Amino acid sequence: MLKIQPAELKVIAQYIHDISGIYLDQSKSYLFETRLSSIAEEHGCNSYQELYQKARKDAGKRIERQIIDAISTNETLFFRDNGPFELLKHKLLPEIIDLRTPSSPRLKTNIKIWSAASSTGQELYSVAMVIKDLIGNQMDQFNFKLLGTDISDSAIQQASYGKYNKFEIERGLPRQTLQKHFTLFGDSWKVKDELRAMVNFRKLNLMLPFGGLGKFDIIFCRNVAIYFTLADRKKLFNKLADSLADDGFLIIGSTESLTGICPRFVPKRHLRAIFYQKKT
């Protein structure tokens, strides 16, 4: 494996931060080597400095995309932590449906949900499954917009395709749910079309302006800010507050905290989970 030189660490770490917002600890050179060495080799680079220069010059940004794919962590699973999905089912969805249902029965209820770091899609599909199970055959009275965004092209691709191998499926999906919402596809499982039709995935770097996404009723932003610096975390949650409806809900990772990061949010507890709302 190509060794990274101490002098290269700072440049590469800065470059990764610039393209992705991800902050890698420079004292852990193995983080860089295990993730980037094969890309360096593929492009015939003898040093990380050389890879950096090639990536900067690459007009098609192919190398940059490869680096982002390699650096971003796609650790995710269906119904991760479970708590937020119980919360969604028993509190957030019923409340938001109440708030958004128009007085005229001829009008549909519009609800927008965003999975801000959707990785390979498991979180957003879990949300879609909760919605389907809750609403059942009254789906035609609703207009759900479920958006998943991620910085990694390959993650977005897998998410849109909705195909998962047995290891991804085994984690977190009860057999009954699996059979209801997926179809067997060779040795893998594919999300059923009716579920896939509810969601939309697109690439987004959370460090850049969100640009026209509008306001959401519920935002999931779990386990992504942990890879950012404190300053970047403050910026991110401030932007999320701008993107959340005044009576909307924010859900962050179960071991994350907004104390000292964004005073615009107040935590609220329901059962064993915490959600955030904007301060009134």
Partner 1 sequence: MNNLTILVVDDDPVIRRLLEQRLAKEKYKVLLAEDGYVGNETLASNHVDVVLTDLMMPGDVGGIEVLEFAKELERNIEVILITAHSSIDTAVEAMKKGASDYLEKPINFTELFLRLEKISTMRGLVRNAQDLRQAMDVTESTAAETIQNLEITAASLQSHIDSIESIANNHELDFAERVAQILKNIQSIR
Q: Which residues bind partner 1 (CB under 8 A)?
A: 81, 166-167, 169-170, 186-187, 254-259, 263, 266-267, 269, 274
Please tell me the distance from the alpha carbon of residue 99 to that of residue 52, in angstroms, as a whole number. Answer: 50
Nearer to partner 1 (CB atom), residue 30 or residue 167: 167
Quote the least distance from Cβ 233 to partner 1, whole Å: 15
Nearer to partner 1 (CB atom), residue 208 or residue 226: 226
Quote the least distance from Cβ 182 to partner 1, whole Å: 12
Cβ(92)–Cβ(47) under 8 Å?
Answer: no
Quote the least distance from Cβ 269 to partner 1, whole Å: 6
Please tell me the distance from the alpha carbon of residue 85 to that of residue 113, in angstroms, as a whole number. Answer: 13
Please tell me the distance from the alpha carbon of residue 276 to that of residue 248, in angstroms, as a whole number. Answer: 9
Quote the least distance from Cβ 200 to partner 1, whole Å: 29
Quote the least distance from Cβ 120 to partner 1, whole Å: 16
Amino acid present at 175: R
Distance of CA 126 to the CA centre of its chain: 12
Please tell me the distance from the alpha carbon of residue 223 to that of residue 149, in angstroms, as a whole number. Answer: 14
Amino acid present at 249: F
Nearer to partner 1 (CB atom), residue 103 or residue 255: 255
Residues forming beta bridges with residue 144, ordered by sequence position: 111
Structure tokens at 173: 């999906």
Nearer to partner 1 (CB atom), residue 52 or residue 228: 228
Nearer to partner 1 (CB atom), residue 5 or residue 257: 257
